[in-house]
């Protein structure tokens, strides 16, 4: 295969490079396969990243090589890629603003995949919104706890959120844990959402002290599931539904069904499996876009 080829994607011309370069060595998964995955998953992925500033984690030499977070638009970004200059709270370089890429279309996704941007992370708010339109809870197991324990906590959390009128949807993190997400009205500040989620996490930790912790102290986590509420902070991002993860195999942060969680059959899912599941289920996170309740105050 030539080192560089020109392709046309939805009317945009892109130059793709080194498509046979292996970026997941243990699985033999190439840059071309990564671009193919993001192209095929695009119809269900894009609604969950649309109008959201992207933080990318790039692995130019594969998942076994060095990586770097990239918030700012890369050098030489094509003029047709949407770039938004936004405040950058908590910037490690003390910048007041950053020029974020917003991936609203397929050509932008293909462009980023060609740059080995394997992981896509987004905030819980959209550009210009009054507040977050999503609530997220990360379930992080401390060994020897694992995905089975995360599933048990996910069910407790689902029912607790439902008592407040919130519909939680489950997904794998693509690694060792799980995440729950709820659609929100988008008219309440991030501080209120984070405070509410913290209260719920602390409540469940009090009720189930042997299996749950809501404290970030790592020494308190062994054998328990940490309910991480902090990703609701406006400056934080969460791996997007359907994003690849930089594991030895090309796993995905994959939406799940509640029957799968109830059965305790949660496991990491590969990109090929996720594409098959989309053919069967469609977008299991579709309700996240239409659900618009407010959190209780």
Q: What percent of the chain has pLDDT over 70?
A: 98
Angle at 269 between CA 290 and CA 193, to 5 degrees: 40
Question: How many of the other CB atoms lie within 10 Å of CB of 67?
Answer: 17
pLDDT in tens, 147-199: 999 999 999 999 999 999 999 999 999 999 999 999 999 999 999 999 999 99
pLDDT in tens, 222-240: 999 999 999 999 999 999 9
pLDDT of 275 above 80: yes
Residue 5: per-residue pLDDT: 94
E strand intervals along 109-250 = 117-122, 134-141, 168-172, 178-183, 212-213, 225-228, 238-239
Contact partners, residue 61, CB within 8 Å, separation at least 6: none
Helix (H) or strand (E) holding 97: strand 97-102
Residue 89: per-residue pLDDT: 64
Asked whether 203 and 146 are in contact (CB, 8 A), the reply is no
Residue 220: per-residue pLDDT: 80
**What is the arithmetic mean of pLDDT over 241-249?**
98
Phi, psi for 136 (deg, rounded to 5) = -130, 140
* Of residues 118, 107, 111, 103, the one with CA closest to residue 52: 103
Q: The whole model's pTM is what?
A: 0.95
pLDDT of 12 above 90: yes
Euclidean distance between CA atoms 252 and 3, whole angstroms:
27
State the DSSP string of 20-85: T-EEETTTTEEHHHHHHHHHHHHHHHHHHHTTS-BEEEE-TT-TTS--EEE-BPPTT--TTSEEEE
Residue 218: per-residue pLDDT: 82
Q: Give 295's pLDDT tier (boundaries 50, 70, 90).
A: very high
Residue 90: per-residue pLDDT: 60
**51's tokens:** 């109008």
**What is the arithmetic mean of pLDDT over 123-134?**
96
Residue 92: per-residue pLDDT: 56
> Taking the mean position of all CA atoms in its chain, how far away is CA 153?
20
Residue 93: per-residue pLDDT: 61
As a whole number, the mean pLDDT across the chain is 95
pLDDT in tens, 64-115: 999 999 999 999 999 999 999 998 866 556 678 999 999 999 999 999 999 9
* Of residues 141, 86, 138, 110, the one with CA closest to residue 31: 110
pLDDT of 241 above 70: yes
Residue 20: per-residue pLDDT: 96
Q: Give 221's pLDDT tier (boundaries 50, 70, 90).
A: confident
Query: Which DSSP letter does residue 190 get?
Result: H
**What is the arithmetic mean of pLDDT over 42-56?**
98
Q: Give 217's pLDDT tier (boundaries 50, 70, 90).
A: confident
- From the number of C-beta atoms within 10 Å of its C-beta (0-12, 13-18, 19+), residue 127 rates as middle
């Amino acid at each position: 295969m030539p080192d560089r080829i020109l392709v046309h994607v939805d009317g945009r011309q892109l130059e793709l490079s080194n498509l046979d370069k292996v970026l997941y060595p243990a699985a033999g998964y190439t840059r071309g396969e990564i671009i193919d995955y993001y192209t095929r998953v695009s119809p269900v992925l894009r609604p969950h990243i649309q109008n959201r500033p992207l933080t990318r984690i790039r692995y130019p030499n594969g998942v076994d090589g060095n990586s770097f977070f990239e918030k700012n638009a890369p050098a030489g970004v094509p003029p047709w890629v949407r770039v938004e200059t936004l405040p950058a709270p908590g910037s490690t370089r003390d910048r007041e603003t950053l020029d974020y890429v917003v991936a609203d279309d397929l050509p932008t996704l293909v462009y980023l995949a060609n740059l080995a941007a394997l992981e896509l992370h987004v905030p819980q708010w959209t550009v210009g919104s009054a507040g977050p339109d999503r609530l997220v809870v990360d379930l992080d197991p401390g060994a020897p706890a694992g995905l089975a324990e995360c599933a048990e906590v996910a069910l407790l959390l689902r029912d607790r959120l439902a008592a407040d009128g919130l519909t939680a949807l489950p997904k794998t993190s693509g690694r060792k844990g799980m995440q729950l997400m709820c659609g929100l009205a988008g008219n309440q500040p991030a501080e209120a959402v984070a405070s509410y989620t913290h209260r719920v996490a602390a409540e469940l930790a009090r009720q189930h002290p042997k299996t749950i912790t809501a404290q970030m102290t790592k020494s308190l986590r062994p054998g328990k599931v940490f309910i991480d509420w902090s990703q609701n902070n406006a400056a934080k991002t969460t791996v997007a539904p359907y994003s690849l993860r930089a594991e030895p195999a090309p796993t995905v942060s994959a939406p799940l069904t509640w029957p799968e969680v109830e059965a305790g059959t949660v496991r990491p899912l590969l990109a090929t499996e996720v594409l098959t599941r989309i053919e069967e289920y469609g977008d299991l996170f579709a309700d996240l876009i239409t659900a618009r309740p407010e959190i209780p105050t």
